[in-house]
Amino acid sequence: MSLQLDEQLKTTGTRFLLFPQPRFLTRADGSPVFPTPETVAVSVPPADIEPGPADERMYVVDAIGKLPYNQVTGPPWQGPRRAAVAPGPDGHFTHLDPDSREFSAATMYATVRRVLDIWQDYFGHRIDWSFESDFARLELIPLIEWNNAQSGYGFLEFGFGRTVNGTIDHTRPYCENFDVLAHELGHNIIFSEVGVPSSPLDRGVDYGGFQESCGDLTAIVALLHFDSFVDYLLAETKGNLLTVNGLDRVGELSDSRQVRVALNALRMSDVGDEPHDRSLPLTGAVFDTMVEIFQKTLVTRGLISQDLRDASNNIPSDTVTLDPAKIQSEFSAAYTGHEVQFKETLLQARDCIGRLLANTWGALSADFLTYHDVLRGLIRADRELTDGDNQPIIRDCFAWREIAPAPESLLLRPHTLQDCGLRELGPADATRCVVRTGSRVPRPRGPGDRTQATEAR
């Protein structure tokens, strides 16, 4: 979501309280990483939100005694339900007790609505549901007695985390996990904007990994819309987002699966066909691109040196020995006193990658999709959005991840004139030209000749 729209929604939208990360995450001293929720606004004005919460795109049903949907059951839920959650006297939902069931229901709605707002802004248009032929709205079921969660055709329904014994852990409701909800909505966005493979001959090897990567990237970009998370991330790393030391520290402190997945050094030769495994190089390449754009802008603004940027990239080298402690020290010195500028630059990089992804996803076909198609899509999107300013970064990040045409791809096969059925006429021919063997072509015309065709010999 653009910075401008985010500011606008603070005055025109409906306000909710959201935790950027689950409340059970703690620091080394046992204190919570995010002890209090952050106030965020969704695009729907207070006058247009119904109790539930609900609007024209989605609605919450706090079902009673519900079993998970399966292959023969689905929305809408017709069974008993708890009373719909109503807004406060001011039309907003910031009055809810974070320890209440009502807060959980409102959190699920606000998270899905907020993430949809963010990505509709990047796409520049409304994202229609892939299930719109059957349902006008997405059904959200926040708390069922189940130690799992699922998304399906027209619905999202969430239970709870698991204890070490595999039983339900009621202290960890999935509906309050921003990353998980954003990831699942990311699948819905891809179903709508890219579609699904239509040919039975398409094994969809890269499509499966692409779906999982898009879910993670949807969540990462959305997570960076929390001021408290961005402040925390920068305070801990001082902008040093690509070194192994800094990234390990981010992963440990946030304990966010999506952020940890992005911070990987896996190439295509390191992964197999399983979608979650195969998603990692693609997610890593896009995340590296975002951070490289961030650091490139820091250099342009004179906030870090080019030497520091070169030393802190995420591409391991056999020839360069880096001193992580020295790199971190230099970032800390650069960050101190320039906290506002670092944050502005990171948010600009976030919006840049959000627009690049939206333009790329919107132009892709699901049929026989490959990661190389995604790379070419990003190159084209960057040409359209920045006149190609970030193309060297994109190419380098994807090349290191070994994302390229498949070795057997026709794109890599040279074609000679003979392969194309072409040959050059000999010296005895009246006119030297390239002709297609076996075709009929016009012969040279002399005075008084009428146009005619002769078979090439």
Q: Do domains 1-193 and 204-413 have the same CATH topology?
A: no
- Report the candidate in 143, 119, 262 with the shortest Cα–Cα distance to residue 194: 119
What's the confidence (pLDDT) of residue 161?
A: 86
Strands (E), 202-270: none
Q: What is the mean pLDDT of residues 133-149?
A: 95
Lowest mean pLDDT among 190-199, 267-276, 293-302, 415-424: 415-424
Q: Letter for the amino acid at 368? A: F
Fold of domain 1-193:
Elastase; domain 1 (3.10.170)
Q: How far apart are CA 36 and CA 227, in angstroms?
A: 13
Lowest mean pLDDT among 186-195, 212-221, 416-425: 416-425
What's the confidence (pLDDT) of residue 48?
A: 95
Its CATH class, for the domain covering 204-413, is mainly alpha
Q: Are 229 and 18 in contact (CB under 8 A)?
A: no
What does pLDDT average to over the chain? 86
312-363: pLDDT as tens digits? 875 555 445 568 888 889 999 999 999 999 999 999 999 999 999 999 999 9
Whether pLDDT at 259 is above 70 = no
What's the confidence (pLDDT) of residue 414?
A: 80
pTM score, whole prediction: 0.85
Lowest mean pLDDT among 25-29, 57-61, 90-94: 25-29
Q: Which residues contact 249 (CB under 8 A, 6 or more apart)?
A: 236, 237
Query: How do the domains of the chain map onto residue ranges?
Result: 1-193, 204-413, 415-444
- Say which residue, 241 or 189, is predicted with more confidence: 189
- Say which residue, 1 or 281, is predicted with more confidence: 281
Tokens representing residue 174 in the block: 């999935």
What's the confidence (pLDDT) of residue 141?
A: 97
Confidence of residue 257 (pLDDT cuts 50, 70, 90): very low
Confidence of residue 455 (pLDDT cuts 50, 70, 90): very low
Confidence of residue 189 (pLDDT cuts 50, 70, 90): very high
Q: How far apart are CA 36 and CA 33, in angstroms?
A: 9
What's the confidence (pLDDT) of residue 256?
A: 45
Q: Are 258 and 346 in contact (CB under 8 A)?
A: no
Lowest mean pLDDT among 126-130, 254-258, 403-407: 254-258
DSSP state of 54: B
Whether pLDDT at 248 is above 50 = no
DSSP state of 52: B
Whether pLDDT at 382 is above 70 = yes
Confidence of residue 453 (pLDDT cuts 50, 70, 90): very low
What's the confidence (pLDDT) of residue 254?
A: 40
Whether pLDDT at 114 is above 50 = yes
Q: How far apart are CA 328 and CA 236, in angstroms?
A: 11
Q: Which residues contact 267 (CB under 8 A, 6 or more apart)?
A: 281, 400, 401, 402
- Say which residue, 430 or 388, is predicted with more confidence: 388
- Report the candidate in 111, 114, 124, 103 with the shortest Cα–Cα distance to residue 44: 114
281-321: pLDDT as tens digits? 999 999 999 999 999 999 999 999 999 998 887 555 544 55
201-243: pLDDT as tens digits? 888 889 999 999 999 999 999 999 999 999 989 998 999 987 6
Q: Are 187 and 209 in contact (CB under 8 A)?
A: no
What's the confidence (pLDDT) of residue 423?
A: 67
What's the confidence (pLDDT) of residue 405?
A: 82
Whether pLDDT at 263 is above 50 = yes
